[in-house]
Amino acid sequence: VGATADAQENCRNPMFSLHWAGKSDIVHLNAQPEPQYDLRICPFYNGKVACCSAAYESEQERAFERWVEHWRRLRSHLHDFQLAMEGMKVASGYVEVDVTQKALFDKAFESFNPVLDSFGTCFDTLLEYMAGVLCFACDPHWRGKVLENDAATEVRHVIVHDSSNEELWESCAGFA
């Protein structure tokens, strides 16, 4: 593994421009791809040239933890909403409505269980996906995995392999 980069290798992926050199209060990506040997978060890049350094992993870890907290809060909100709906079933408003309205309410209420049951698998798959996105900052060959605007100053689309999309769909189908 050499430290020299070909013309397509660089660490200026616009998706991570906040972490290019310039600000002194955050950890930066490498200016150029450099050999890495001690990455914990993205070990795939150990023994290869990469844009991440061991110091940058603290940023990745914080970002990942924000996603973990986001999905935990979402599950908690769904559960709380389900409990609130359950309480409504004994309220006079529920007791007094016609059969059709009760059936609609009951159908909505029953839809929570499949969602909450699949939440663990879906949650884990989404976190795997986010870990991949965060490790994408390490990839000096990013340009071949995105579609950029005409000026090549921003990423318009990330090219995701179909198998990743299929795994995500299978894991989160309960939300559909």
Give the H or E element holding residue 48: strand 48-50
Question: CA-to-CA distance for 86 and 104, rounded, in angstroms?
Answer: 14
Rounded to whole angstroms, how far apart are CA atoms 73 and 26? Answer: 27
Q: Which residues share a beta bridge with 155?
A: 148
For the chain, the 3-state helix, strand and coil shares in percent, each to the nearest 5, are 60, 5, 35
Bridge partners, 49 (sequence order): 35
Distance of CA 167 to the CA centre of its chain: 14
Neighbours of 66 (CB within 10 A): 10
pLDDT tens sequence across 18-55: 888 776 777 889 999 999 999 999 999 999 999 999 99
In DSSP notation, 57-101 reads HHHHHHHHHHHHHHHHHHHHHHHHHHHHHHHHTTSHHHHHS-HHH
What phi, psi does 63 have (nearest 5°)? Answer: -65, -45
User: Tokens 């309410």 — which residue?
Assistant: 105
Assign 6 a pLDDT band (cuts: 50, 70, 90): low
Residue entry with tokens 């408003």: 93
CA-CA distance, 15 to 76, in Å (whole number)?
30
pLDDT confidence band for 120 (50 / 70 / 90): confident
Tens-place pLDDT, residues 75-110 = 899 889 999 999 998 888 888 899 999 999 999 888
Q: What's the pLDDT at 3?
A: 44
User: Which distant-in-sequence residues (6+ apart) come within 8 Å of 33 by Cβ?
Assistant: 3, 5, 9, 10, 11, 49, 50, 51, 140
125-167 pLDDT, tens digit per residue, is: 999 999 999 999 999 999 999 999 999 888 999 999 999 889 9
